[in-house]
Amino acid sequence: QVQLVESGGGLVQAGGSLRLSCAASGRTFSSYAMGWFRQAPGKEREFVAVIRQIDGNTYYRDSVKGRFTISRDNAKNTVYLQMNSLKAEDTAVYYCAAQTKAYSDYDYWGQGTQVTVSS
């Protein structure tokens, strides 16, 4: 069984920073890409950022560009999301997910970690 476990969420004031981690464990699998998603209260889940395994290429949601950075540590089977200059609208449950094939849905999901940004 593949497990993705997020950590690092919490309460932070607007303008502050948080670093989320997603550790993978269990059955070994080939990850094409690792992504971060979030879901705010009363809203649908939305894409935040992704990093491709083969070359480390990244892509971000427009609203977080310049503020968030996705990175990875392959030796630790961990992906990170550094969030700076946080805004109230960043408040959401953040999920990490693994994509095992190009152009496919994300196959594995973590349980989520709460990020609350107070103004």
Question: pLDDT tens for residues 55-91?
Answer: 999 999 999 999 999 999 988 889 999 999 999 999 9
In 3-state terms, what secondary structure has residue 13? strand
pLDDT score of 2: 83
Would you give the distance in Å from CA 90 to the centre of its chain? 12
Digit-coded pLDDT (tens) for 20-65: 999 998 776 678 999 999 999 999 999 999 999 999 999 999 999 9
Cβ atoms of 115 and 84 within 8 Å: the answer is: no
pLDDT score of 30: 73
pLDDT score of 82: 98
pLDDT score of 91: 98
pLDDT score of 75: 86
**Structure token pair of residue 43:** 């809203």
pLDDT score of 28: 67
**What DSSP character marks residue 27?**
S
Digit-coded pLDDT (tens) for 92-102: 999 999 998 88
CA contacts within 13 A on the Cβ side of 86: 23
pLDDT score of 29: 67
